[in-house]
Chain A
Amino acid sequence: MAPSTLTTLISPAELSYLRSSLALVPPIRPDARTPTQFRPLVAEIDILPSTNGSARMVWGDGGECVVGIKAEVEPTEPTSYGKRRNWVEVGVEVQGQRDDDPLGVFLGMTVGESLLTPTSTLTERLVITPKFHWKLYIDILLITPPLSHPATLLSLSTNLALRSTRIPRLISESDEDPIFDDDWDASIPLYSITSQLPPITLLVVSVEERNIFFDPTREELSVGDCVLAISLASSPAHDAPKVIGVRTLESGTGGIAADAKDGVVAASIGGVKRRVIKRIIKESLSVGKEVFESLQGVVDAN
């Protein structure tokens, strides 16, 4: 089944109007944003005292997301060296939807996959002693189903929550059972200033090869040729972020006006040329850099 955020039917006339205005040069978006402009959002971090890290984010369209991160000590099994990917568990709960909803699954997989790329040194920092490690539970709550695809909202909130995550300092020797410092002020941030920052995922939609839109609304998604969720990682050492994962999302409404003779037909059937995809990914890098900078602003403000 299609994610429920995309199932609302839009009439062929509306689709055609939307698509032709998005295909203009320069394009006109329904909410008059520029192609790379994001919707306004409110973000706060460190809101829940019972978690190791937390963040809340509210979009202009009413989407609200709360992320809580907890770390628990777990013994490391000698055989499980290859199972370090299990040290991070991502749970997504979308209000009003079942646990096994494909949207939640998709979002969880995207976040988990981008966190655990081989180049991120996350699991190394989760090691406490040779016998114990932290198990990181990232629980994401989508409080109100937003009007648009929640991938961007969710990934930005998770990024902020991870950056506010602190783990207690170890005070025992490495061969003993771990004992931690009770003083929360002495705790260590999971992502220090020098390490690679947690990843973000941007949703990008292309219309008619030439136009690329960031942070698309649901209406824009339904007339797009190609919707990509691009995960980016940034480290202070490098100037530009790096692409660490790309996924394709459902786009168009699956041939809603296939018999019409206008541009909508092209949107609903067929894929996109590879040069379009390459362009989308390259353009997302420069936008990603700005997003990382604004997120830094949120962290600095707290």
Chain B
Amino acid sequence: MSRHELLSPEGLRIDGRRWNELRLFEARLSTTTAADGSSYVEWGNTKIICTVAGPVEPKMGSNRSQDGATVVVEVCFAAFSGNDRKKRARGDKRVQEMQTALQRTFSEAILTQLHPRSEILITLHILSQDGSVLAACVNACTLALVDAGVPMSDYVVACTAGSYFVRGGNNPEDEGEDPLLDMNNLEEADLPSVTVGTIGGGEKITLLQLETKVRLEKLEGMMAVALDGCGKLRELMDEIVRAHGNEVVRRIAL
């Protein structure tokens, strides 16, 4: 896939979106009855199941802390989730890095001091990956934690943004870089992208991950676009949570 096709001259991206459009974000809560909280997130073709167990008594003594609950995150990539079948070992460095990032993010957002000497276990199953996997994981975790009734200061929402280099052709003034919101797999493979996670969809950033080279002056633009996306996503997630809450209340009332 050559870079030129990622953004058509008309300004449409490879999947037909404009630069500031999110992919279809759909989520369901309480998908699994066996867990304390669970969610299923479909973001474009990225599909994730998240289950939360806790707060429970820690299985290992080392996870017991007097100060507050310990957050443990487990990420499992299904072998069939990518383009080629690939089984990731449990100690895979990339998976561990994701686990650590999520663990730190949610240790901040969860009011852990309310549950001392306990453990909150978050398990993520990535069924299908099509870009923005870490961001989708964050959103799935948030929804599952809400479902589990774990106290949090606000929604933790994450989104990605990338930067597309526009060649000027004959006119050098047209040359420049365009930010793109919500990267899919093809865009992520070729363009620099940044994952931004915020608490409450505002300006409070809790997670920032940049794995590619990007010009420093472009970073701010990318982050601004990603923050914008976070704000939009927070509204979407809030709608989903409220709709689910109403449904639960309606069922109890019946």
A and B: real partners? Answer: yes
Interface-forming stretch among B73-81, B131-139, B153-161, B216-224?
A: B73-81
Interface residues of A in 89-126 (CB under 8 A from B): 91, 93, 95-96, 99
- Chain A hits for B85, CB < 8 A: 70, 72, 137, 139
**In the bound complex, do residue A144 and residue B51 qualify as a contact, i.e. CB atoms below 8 Å apart?**
yes
- Chain A hits for B111, CB < 8 A: none
Which of A49, A68, A95 is the one whose CB lies under 8 Å from B45?
Answer: A49
**In the bound complex, do residue A144 and residue B35 qualify as a contact, i.e. CB atoms below 8 Å apart?**
yes
Supplied contacts A95-B76, A141-B127, 17 more A-B pairs, CB within 8 Å = A48-B80, A49-B128, A50-B129, A50-B130, A51-B80, A58-B31, A63-B34, A66-B125, A68-B81, A70-B85, A72-B84, A95-B51, A139-B80, A141-B125, A143-B32, A145-B34, A146-B34
Interface residues of B in 115-150 (CB under 8 A from A): 123, 125, 127-130
**In the bound complex, do residue A68 and residue B78 qualify as a contact, i.e. CB atoms below 8 Å apart?**
yes
Closest residue of chain B to A58 (Cβ to Cβ) is B32
- Chain B hits for A93, CB < 8 A: 76, 78-79
Tell whether A61 is near chain B: CB-to-CB under 8 Å. Answer: yes
Closest residue of chain B to A144 (Cβ to Cβ) is B34
**In the bound complex, do residue A143 and residue B51 qualify as a contact, i.e. CB atoms below 8 Å apart?**
yes
Q: Report the Cα distance A50→B128, complex, angstroms.
A: 7
- Chain A hits for B47, CB < 8 A: 47-48
Mark interface residues in B14-47 (1 if CB within 8 Å of A CB, else 0): 0000000000000000011111000000000101
Closest residue of chain B to A145 (Cβ to Cβ) is B34
Interface residues of A in 119-167 (CB under 8 A from B): 137, 139, 141, 143-147
Closest residue of chain A to B123 (Cβ to Cβ) is A95
Tell whether B87 is near chain A: CB-to-CB under 8 Å. Answer: yes
- Chain B hits for A96, CB < 8 A: 74, 123
Q: Report the Cα distance A27→B153, complex, angstroms.
A: 52
Mark interface residues in A21-55 (1 if CB within 8 Å of B CB, else 0): 00000000000000000000000000111110010
**In the bound complex, do residue B34 and residue A61 qualify as a contact, i.e. CB atoms below 8 Å apart?**
yes
Which of B74, B87, B128, B129 is the one whose CB lies under 8 Å from A91?
Answer: B87
Tell whether A64 is near chain B: CB-to-CB under 8 Å. Answer: yes
Q: How far is the CB of A142 from chain B (nearest CB, A)?
A: 10
Q: Report the Cα distance A147→B130, complex, angstroms.
A: 33
**In the bound complex, do residue A64 and residue B32 qualify as a contact, i.e. CB atoms below 8 Å apart?**
yes
* Main DSSP-derived SS at the B contact region: loop
**In the bound complex, do residue A48 and residue B34 qualify as a contact, i.e. CB atoms below 8 Å apart?**
no
- Chain B hits for A49, CB < 8 A: 45, 128
**In the bound complex, do residue A68 and residue B127 qualify as a contact, i.e. CB atoms below 8 Å apart?**
yes
Tell whether B90 is near chain A: CB-to-CB under 8 Å. Answer: yes
- Chain B hits for A66, CB < 8 A: 49, 78, 125, 127
Q: Size range of the interface on B? A: 20 to 34
**In the bound complex, do residue B35 and residue A48 qualify as a contact, i.e. CB atoms below 8 Å apart?**
no
Tell whether A69 is near chain B: CB-to-CB under 8 Å. Answer: yes
25 contacts between A and B (CB under 8 A): A47-B47, A48-B80, A49-B45, A50-B45, A50-B128, A58-B31, A61-B33, A62-B32, A62-B35, A64-B31, A66-B49, A68-B79, A68-B80, A70-B84, A70-B85, A91-B79, A93-B79, A139-B78, A139-B80, A141-B76, A141-B78, A141-B125, A141-B127, A143-B32, A147-B34
- Chain B hits for A143, CB < 8 A: 32, 49, 51, 125
**In the bound complex, do residue B33 and residue A62 qualify as a contact, i.e. CB atoms below 8 Å apart?**
yes
Q: How far is the CB of A285 from chain B (nearest CB, A)?
A: 32
- Chain B hits for A137, CB < 8 A: 79-80, 85
Q: Report the Cα distance A145→B121, complex, angstroms.
A: 14
Mark interface residues in B66-100 (1 if CB within 8 Å of A CB, else 0): 00000000101011111111010010000000000
Q: Report the Cα distance A70→B127, complex, angstroms.
A: 13
- Chain B hits for A58, CB < 8 A: 31-32
Q: How far is the CB of B125 from chain A (nearest CB, A)?
A: 6
Q: How far is the CB of B58 from chain A (nearest CB, A)?
A: 14
When A63-B34, A139-B80 are in contact, do A48 and B125 touch as well, CB less than 8 Å? no
